Amino acid sequence: LGGSISRALQQMSNATIIDEKVLNECLNEITRALLQSDVQFKLVRDMQTNIKKIVNLDDLAAGHNKRKIIQQAIFNELCKMLDPGKPSFTPKKGKTSVVMFVGLQGSGKTTTCTKYAFYHQKKGWKPALVCADTFRAGAFDQLKQNATKAKIPFYGSYMESDPVKIAVEGVETFKKENCDLIIVDTSGRHKQEAALFEEMRQVSEATKPDLVIFVMDSSIGQAAFDQAQAFKQSVSVGAVIVTKMDGHAKGGGALSAVAATKSPVIFIGTGEHMDEFEVFDVKPFVSRLLGMGDWSGFMDKIHEVVPMDQQPELLQKLSEGNFTLRIMYEQFQNILKMGPIGQVFSMLPGFSAELMPKGREKESQAKIKRYMTMMDSMTNEELDSSNPKLMNESRIMRIARGSGRHLREVMEMFEEYKRLAKIWSKMKGLKIPKKGEMSAL
């Protein structure tokens, strides 16, 4: 998909005069690409109409960058389609919330339940899992295994066949134990659909969830809209999680799920493991859908705020994907110098959300300075290596001593390094747009 959209935009860029014909050709090409990416036909058509309304070529005064305006319009339209206009119910730490997961069998519910619980547990919540899937043999065992691995309390039964009864018992049990996030996993049998939806309705009625999350496999293609709508009609779906975004999935189904449920996507699943779970972020997602990589907005920011003479070097480093501690050090310096902290890095998905949460800039700055002090105690060899194995225990001890910091803090700094290196490595081989070129997206 990305390829053909970039191509369409590129062709448009090459045209000297952008008239109705060029715009139509470009839009047709993009339409084709979006359809191939499993975006529902009706949504694509609506988008096309909207863009033509926004981009009135005659109204654009000469000298305006039409190309940039069209690109921006496409990007904004797609972002708008992913925004249902109201946020989903957000559970509050310390207050009991019941969250019910629904979705077809194999969509990733059980896996995602655990990821969701684990994500909150790491942030200090007290989550618990209830297995109300009595349909599939082995369902309870799977949840039990996942929960045990993550040290999350769970509830279920091998004997009881009534999902409503188990769901209610589980929720009651954990309410008594003061859990603040009670997660109900449900069945998703493929056949007997009518029975499935009736079961979901009953479980929901009995447990009165604060939030129902619809879990969707990103690879189901054009079926996404009908599937999401069917669930929405039997229970009040309030949020969507799209799974298996690590595979060849094109992700267009997410737009359909939002349209059908009128609910936002809140997380995406990016692998089978417990921590392969990301907070959903509209702009990087749309960039990816458009084949601009997650980095286009980031690139724009680089052009905007990084001093001209330092740009080539930074871009070169980015495209090599090789993240050394020295690069981290330099980026920390930049972040601290930049004034409005994290201007640039806030654009890089995953970079700032964790490192510099909004509203905690002071603490974050102090933390970054602390990390830099520790790095000051490192050798050149250590700073220039991107091999974490180099960091053995004796080196870590030496760094802790040298910087007067706690061992735990040095370990924490390395964890941060590994996390950032992972993000950075995604930039490898990235074709970097020159200033102005394509970067409007």
Q: Which residues bind Mg ion (CB under 5 A)?
A: 109-110
Residue 189 Cβ, how far from ligand GDP at the closest point, in Å? 9
Name which of residues 295 to 354 contact ligand GDP (CB under 6 A).
none
Query: For residue 154, with 0-12 CB atoms within 10 Å meaning exposed, 13-18 middle and 19 or more buried, which class applies?
Result: buried
Residue 188 Cβ, how far from ligand GDP at the closest point, in Å? 5
By CB under 6 A, residue 13 contacts ligand GDP: no
Question: In the complex with Mg ion, which residue's Cβ is closer, 187 or 403?
Answer: 187
Q: What are the beta bridge partners of residue 186? A: 132
By CB under 6 A, residue 107 contacts ligand GDP: yes
By CB under 6 A, residue 110 contacts ligand GDP: yes
Residue 298 Cβ, how far from ligand GDP at the closest point, in Å? 24
Closest CA to 424 of 310, 306, 278, 294: 294
Question: In the complex with ligand GDP, which residue's Cβ is closer, 108 or 264?
Answer: 108
| Among 90-98, 242-250, 289-297, 317-325, the segment contacting ligand GDP (CB under 6 A) | 242-250
Question: In the complex with Mg ion, which residue's Cβ is closer, 38 or 133?
Answer: 133
Query: Of all residues in the chain, what percent are helix, strand and coil, respectively (each to 5)?
Result: 55, 10, 35
Residue 300 Cβ, how far from ligand GDP at the closest point, in Å? 29
Q: Which does 108 bind (CB under 5 to 8 A by kind): Mg ion, ligand GDP, none?
A: ligand GDP
Residue nearest to Mg ion (CB): 110
Residue 136 Cβ, how far from Mg ion at the closest point, in Å? 7
Give every strand in the sheet of 277-279, ordered side by side.
154-155, 127-132, 181-186, 97-102, 211-217, 237-243, 265-269, 277-279
Instruction: Rule CB under 6 A: choose which of 272, 361, 376, 437 binds ligand GDP.
Output: 272
| Among 108-116, 159-167, 290-298, 335-343, the segment contacting ligand GDP (CB under 6 A) | 108-116
123 with 90: CB under 8 angstroms? no
Q: Which does 244 bind (CB under 5 to 8 A by kind): ligand GDP, Mg ion, none?
A: ligand GDP
By CB under 6 A, residue 244 contacts ligand GDP: yes
Residue 230 Cβ, how far from ligand GDP at the closest point, in Å? 15
SS3 242: strand
Q: How far apart are CA 47 and CA 57, in angstroms?
A: 17
Q: How far apart are CA 147 and CA 114, in angstroms?
A: 7
By CB under 6 A, residue 271 contacts ligand GDP: yes
Residue 165 Cβ, how far from ligand GDP at the closest point, in Å? 20
**Token couple for 146:** 């996942």
Q: How far apart are CA 239 and CA 145, in angstroms?
A: 26
By CB under 6 A, residue 246 contacts ligand GDP: yes
Q: Which does 350 bind (CB under 5 to 8 A by kind): Mg ion, ligand GDP, none?
A: none
Question: In the complex with ligand GDP, which residue's Cβ is closer, 272 or 361?
Answer: 272
Instruction: Rule CB under 6 A: choose which of 2, 84, 106, 221 binds ligand GDP.
Output: 106
Instruction: Rule CB under 6 A: choose which of 91, 156, 188, 293 binds ligand GDP.
Output: 188
Question: In the complex with ligand GDP, which residue's Cβ is closer, 177 or 272?
Answer: 272
> What is the per-residue burial (b if ≥16 Cβ within 10 Å, else e) of 91-126?
beeeebbbbbbbbbbebbbbbbbbbbbbbbbeeebb
Question: In the complex with ligand GDP, which residue's Cβ is closer, 92 or 149?
Answer: 149
SS3 101: strand
By CB under 6 A, residue 108 contacts ligand GDP: yes
Give just the sign of the alpha carbon dihedral 297, 301, 304, 306.
negative
Instruction: Rule CB under 6 A: choose which of 48, 88, 263, 270 binds ligand GDP.
Output: 270
Q: Rounded to 5 degrees, what angle do the CA atoms 117, 118, 123 make? A: 100
By CB under 6 A, residue 145 contacts ligand GDP: no
Q: What are the beta bridge partners of residue 215? A: 241
Q: How far apart are CA 299 and CA 344, in angstroms?
A: 9
For 273, 376, 398, 405, the CA distances from 402, given in Å and listed in that order, are 37, 9, 6, 8
By CB under 6 A, residue 264 contacts ligand GDP: no
Q: How far apart are CA 332 and CA 325, in angstroms?
A: 10
- Residues of this chain that interact with ligand GDP (CB under 6 A) are 103, 105-111, 188, 243-244, 246-247, 269-272
